[in-house]
Every structure is written in structure tokens, then in C-alpha cells.
Structure 1
């Protein structure tokens, strides 16, 4: 009888390759966040330095140099239908567009988070009243709200900000409310109650720090969409009013002359809005991966 040796098979190590994957994931997330921050910081810095960087007055019209193309002498990005320098209007328009989007996003994030925190720790009746009110806000078309506010207040920046806040608060409240409900039954909440902590003390000193990461992530990602939305309202004529430079207004004015073959007055501000909105979305996605330990453990 011939004895044959049975080959020994080794079970694969489930941890093998996990560390490199985690490192690659962290590097990818860090690179994404860094790139997004660089893009956002660059646009913010350009907006702050607009008086220094803009080669011309953004509202200065010159009928003799209308519709100049990109690379024209003295006008790097050309001119619009009134002969205004497009580069100068892009630089100054960043001030208006970014301030409006950031102010509206911050206001809606704070308001929605406070509503969700109070509702999450209130009794069933109070929580139901708050969240049903939030649900009713979902039912109103945002454009209708903007038009009504424009009739009451007149077109302008306040209409854009209030419209964005009204439309974004329900989404923020729903996201934060779900997270607060998860935290409500945790041990640290029961410990704070047993030590005699009051309602607002538990809410803002114990629960808020544990949901703050989700609020920051969602609020950051919200800015990108709000830039697009505020630009849309300005393009419809119920947002920032002329002659103030604004990216949405530039797109609207440029769209009127596309049929003549001059696409740059609409294309260039549209590309700027796209890049800035994507940068804020990238930042929100990157922060979500950084703050979510389950994603880090999974090596995603």
C-alpha cells in the first residue's frame, strides 16, 4: 500500500489585504476633501479680492466691444451683450452667489436641526405636531414660494434666501430627527437623566455633539445644491437684480444670445456654478466617509 501525502491547505487570512485597502481608502477620502477645500477656498479668496483682481468695473458697459470672444485683447474671457467684461463679472458674481448660498444653507441647517432636536426629545404629541408641520412644508412647490415672496417683498436677495430656507428646512429636519431618535435611548442619555440634567442640557450638551457630525456633513453637501438653486432663481428674474453681478443672472442674460452663436456669456458662468457645486458635494461626501466609522472599518 502506497501512502500519499495529503497537501495541507491553508485557509485564507480574512485580514490579509485589509490594511492596504484601508490606507488606499483614507488616501482617496483625504485627497477628495483636500481637493474640494482647495477649490472652495480658491473661489472664496477670489471673491474677497474682487476689487483687486477684477480688471474692470463689472457694471461698466461699452457698446463698442460687445460680444468679444475668449482671448480678445484686453478681455481675457470676452464681453457680454452690453460690452461688460465677463471675467470681472465672474469674479464679482462669486461674492453674491457664494454669500447667498452659504447664508441660506447655514440658516436652513440651524433651523432644521433645532426643530429636529426638540422634536426628537419631546413627547409624542409635540413631536408629531413639529414633524407634521415639516411634512406640510414638503408639499409647497419652491418656485411658487419664491414667486409669492417676490410679490410681497419684491425681487432680490431676501427672496432667494427665504425660499431656500423654506425648501431646505424639511430635508434637514428629517435627516437630523432620525439620528436624534437613535441617540435618545443610548446609555449616556440615561446617565445624564439620572444625574438630574434638564431637557435642554441633555439636548444641547449631550445629544448635539453626537449628531453634530451628521449635521455638518449634510449642511456642507447642501451648499452645492443651493448654489445651483439660487442661480436658477436669479436666472428666472426673481433673485439678485441687475446690475449686480451674479452667476445665475449671467447665465440668464447669456442664454438670450446663444442663438446668435455667442455661447461664452452663458457657458462660462455655467461651468463656474458646476465646479463650485461639485466641490461642495465632494466635500460633503468626503466628510461623511471621515466621520462614519462603519465606512472606515469596511475599508470603503
Structure 2
């Protein structure tokens, strides 16, 4: 028996194509999950090209589905539970993952919304937590129209911060004021007052300018680099009153934080925004839309049911 998956294929567009893998077998601390939905990230596209995921191996980090087999050691959710997961190789019909990588999805939360949470939601939640976001803080979110950005706007606003959402065009700013942004700006040139925290997702010149805008004692969380451009700091840009630039990477074993995110969705405190949705057969279309920045929020795949 085998399972169909999106795998690294250097001959395919984006180096990702369909293939078949041996049926996954769950270890003692793992659950076997039938995947119903998955969400595409820049990281998935980059991992297929940068060698992190070898040729023939499955790609993907974010998915939701149903537990087919509970963990033999008694940990994790029971068979039949609806779950969200954050783990390598998520773009497959069935996956075996550690129980530390999954959280149960509450009733009333659409599994497509749950699948849109892990990579972007965790990056927003954890970076804002590390920067000590709270009432009275001025928080700048760059690339605010993307997946991480939209979550960061909502979470920072929920924490009581004054949120400035920076986007590439006026159209890309649609919905951000309703999500909690106090200011929506195009680029960074119109920001006059220093900010205490930056959730930086664009990289390149944006990163350099955001660093200049950071107040003494402030913190910049470098979460992404969607521009692909180099960041060139002018002389003495890093000499002066203390402030910090923190590199960020999403760590696995995210069960507790995933559970917090889906609870926020269930309570209405967080709204996953899905800007593209379709069958995983349309992967190439979704990848092109994401690369071209035509997706506001997240791109979500529907996988066929075999039940």
C-alpha cells in the first residue's frame, strides 16, 4: 500500500511534483493522520530548492486532518479526533507524526482554517511573545498582507499594542484595519515616530529601514525574507543606543502553541484569512500566486477523502 504526496522533484516547476511513498507507519509516540487540508508557505517552496528536503521526500509543514490511529504509548489525541499538525512532510494523503506536533481542533473550527495556522500563526505568536508585546507598545508589521503579517496584526492588537501595518500597495491593505491595525501604510517612508517592536517579513531594504525606525531598547524580529533582496546597512547603522535584531525560526514540538492558536480561532480572537483555496492538484497555480504576491493571507489545499 502507498500514499500519494507532493515531493521534491527537481524536474518539476518549483521543484515539487506528485509522487507515491510507502504507507506511513506510526511509531510508539506518533499518530497516523489522514490529511484533509494543507497550507502552502514560502518555506515549502524554498525547502524544495535549498537542499533541506532531499529529492523524493515529501514537502509541506502545515496540515489538518483526522487521527486514524492513536499513539501506542497513550500520548496525544484519540482515533477519530480532528487535529492540526506542524511537521515536515505534511503534504501527503496520510502522515505519521509525533504527538508533540499535533493539537486537537475544537468543534466549530473549520479544518481548512486550522490548516492555515501553523507556520504563519506560530511565527506571529512566538515572535510577538519573544519581543514582549503588550499595551502601549508601538508594533510595526512589515509585509502585513501576508500570512504571518495578518496574524501578527491581530495578535498584537489583541495584546493592546498600537499596530502599524506596512503593505506593498493600498489594495494589499484591505481588511487590515478591521483586523486591528491602527495605521495601514504603503512602504515605510511615511512612518515618522520610532517603534518598539518590528515583526519583519520582507527582508532586503525593508529590514534596513525598519531597523532605523526601531526605538532605543526596541526589538526587531526577523521572521521572513520574501523580497529575496540583500540588506545593506550604511556605516554606523548598528552603532548607537542599544536595540536588538533577533533571528527567528519556527521550532517543532509545537503542540501547546498550536492548541493556543486554535483556541483563539474558536473564541473569535483570531481569524485565519484564506486568500487562495483549491484542490492540491492545482499546486502549481497556488505556488505561482504565492510567489507573485497575489495571495492575501494563506493558500490552502483540499485533499481528496478516501473514507
TM-score by length of 1: 0.23
Greater gyration radius: 1
**Which structure has more helix as a fraction of its residues?**
1
Between the two structures, name the one with larger relative contact order (CA 8 Å, sep ≥ 6): 1
**Which structure has more strand as a fraction of its residues?**
2
TM-score by length of 2: 0.22
